[in-house]
Structure 1
């Protein structure tokens, strides 16, 4: 039940006008280090993009409020603050942008959640103004983390992933589609699983440009590539599943193999598509 709630939440975020920020919570983020500056680290450039009104030095430490809602845990909404600590321009030393005041009961500041994969979805303002709300999910299990990493690739501690939700989480909506059997695969692919580059090269010959927008073109290319990937996957995996398994270990081995291949594809797909479009 909870997994379906989580998956629906991700799909909703992916399909609406959100900017997502994904990372594993560090000990400094959650306060596990006991340090003075406790709070989730968010790069200055992201805060600048989401809260343009505070990007100035006309006054000391300009700030703006936003509503922080945690969908993964049962805790009250809080009024977080995006602030530009700009005292360097007023004779002191500090010059950084942060989002603070997540609330005492927030899972973002629970030391037990150190290392947890976390998504912050900032609702973008249609007119380009300040973001007024952020929706948060702190993963509570490896199952939840696997859902995300299958779509975007492995997220290692210290890595920061951010961008428009449709681009970052687009693979999640693709996973809901049934296998498309309209493609005629090369004969040798029936004997071996092709590389990501081979699938993308093959997909290029089946891609029809329906938009002049580069982002939409990229998403369309990834849809075609994913359709073909699923067809190849079915070709190599479905018969094994139909034959059944002699032991639980055999089943787990196949499941891990499929999951790892999907993670690998998701992690490399965007890079390979960008490389192919440049050449």
Structure 2
């Protein structure tokens, strides 16, 4: 599916008009790429009110309903939303078959973002569905609504993204109290780690899990600071369209800026905590600046320093296409590494990465979102840190 600006604009407009939607990254299980014979996209019970009018409470059996799907490419067809009590599974079935998706199309959609938007505020029967399979589309949509995907999915309501619990939000509010302007993005990352670690009274760190938790918490931190900073703007009316547009563009650009630096800030913290030498960003040939260069830029530019002891790490939230950027960022490092939060990539892309000598580093909880044939080849954050500590 090619990048289509009009399609993206239509999706954002439809989502805003509806005020609620469910979206998730498609896993091999969802597309059937793992060999499963089940024709269904797994949903979350957190999204029950997007697909059912009343919460399923059956002790046995199933609850199901037919829904109409209006796919962004013009296809319209019926699907079936079903909750299996025995399996505690919630799926939408007959989607791929009734949508007449070919097997190759489905395989290429691993890691794509699918969005279900109810077309009625009262009855959950008709849905506009968009599938985004480029990083530009995924980032533009998710950052427009400031969504977090640490659990692979996001449920958006008119009152905002569903957060953990009110008591946890209270902890975040305690730490962000007094901010009447946006702090530096590194400060927001620090507040997020502090809020999570203190609220859950954590004394030890599992970097694979806690990196995800810190980034998830940061969405809450940012939204609460955003609400405080913009409260006057949201109460006072805008008297001309240009003022409204300027404010909206400024708010959206700030969301994108924060999201773009978040992962780097947390990786920077992990390396510092582990006493790992690094440059962030590094500098290699010319103006090339990889996200992380280990042990330092000076070591890289010293031709007497053994190239086998150099490590180049890209840090990209999504990497369906941008992984190729990492390949050209340091000629002295033949085997490069890329840390990503991307939840699933097609086998074809993973094979390309392997052939290009790029080692993918993915938080361990996300490994199951990848094709089974490649899961053993993925590195966890723990694996990467072990590799680095053996060198330095």
Rounded Cα–Cα distance in structure 2 between residues aligned with 1:229 and 1:156? 19
Partner of 2:154: 161
Partner of 1:144: 137
Tell whether the 8 Å contact from 2:23 to 2:116 is kept in structure 1 after alignment. yes
Tell whether the 8 Å contact from 1:207 to 1:224 is kept in structure 2 after alignment. no
1:132 CA displacement: 0.9
1:226 aligns with 2:251: yes
Partner of 2:68: 67
Where structure 1 has 5 or more consecutive residues not aligned to the other structure, the ranges are: 87-92, 169-184, 212-221, 234-247, 254-258, 261-279
Tell whether the 8 Å contact from 1:54 to 1:64 is kept in structure 2 after alignment. no
1:77 CA displacement: 1.6
Partner of 2:111: 115
Rounded Cα–Cα distance in structure 2 between residues aligned with 1:158 and 1:58? 26
Tell whether the 8 Å contact from 2:48 to 2:55 is kept in structure 1 after alignment. no
1:21 CA displacement: 1.3
Partner of 2:82: 83
Compared CA separation, residues 202 and 24, structure 1 to 2 (3 A): closer
1:153 CA displacement: 5.2
Matches within 5 A, 1:19-98: 19-48=20-49, 50-52=51-53, 55-57=56-58, 60-71=61-72, 73=73, 76-86=75-85, 93-98=86-91
Q: Deviations over 1:69-126 (max 9, x none)?
A: 210x35x32211112324xxxxxx4443322111422489812110112222123443
1:203 aligns with 2:199: no
1:29 CA displacement: 0.4
Partner of 2:212: none
Compared CA separation, residues 12 and 206, structure 1 to 2 (3 A): closer
Tell whether the 8 Å contact from 1:17 to 1:124 is kept in structure 2 after alignment. yes
Compared CA separation, residues 146 and 31, structure 1 to 2 (3 A): same
CA RMSD of aligned residues (A): 4.8
1:57 CA displacement: 4.0
1:223 CA displacement: 5.9
Specify the SS of the correspondent of 2:4. helix
Rounded Cα–Cα distance in structure 1 between residues aligned with 2:150 and 2:101? 20
Tell whether the 8 Å contact from 1:20 to 1:165 is kept in structure 2 after alignment. no
Q: Deviations over 1:222-260 (max 9, x none)?
A: 969828959x99xxxxxxxxxxxxxx968xx9xxxxx99
Compared CA separation, residues 118 and 97, structure 1 to 2 (3 A): closer
1:2 CA displacement: 5.6
Where structure 2 has 5 or more consecutive residues not aligned to the other structure, the ranges are: 162-179, 189-220, 238-246, 259-285, 292-315, 318-392
Rounded Cα–Cα distance in structure 2 between residues aligned with 1:67 and 1:209? 38
Tell whether the 8 Å contact from 1:64 to 1:82 is kept in structure 2 after alignment. yes
1:144 CA displacement: 1.3
1:203 CA displacement: 2.5
Tell whether the 8 Å contact from 2:46 to 2:155 is kept in structure 1 after alignment. no
Compared CA separation, residues 205 and 84, structure 1 to 2 (3 A): closer
Partner of 1:266: none
Tell whether the 8 Å contact from 1:26 to 1:114 is kept in structure 2 after alignment. yes
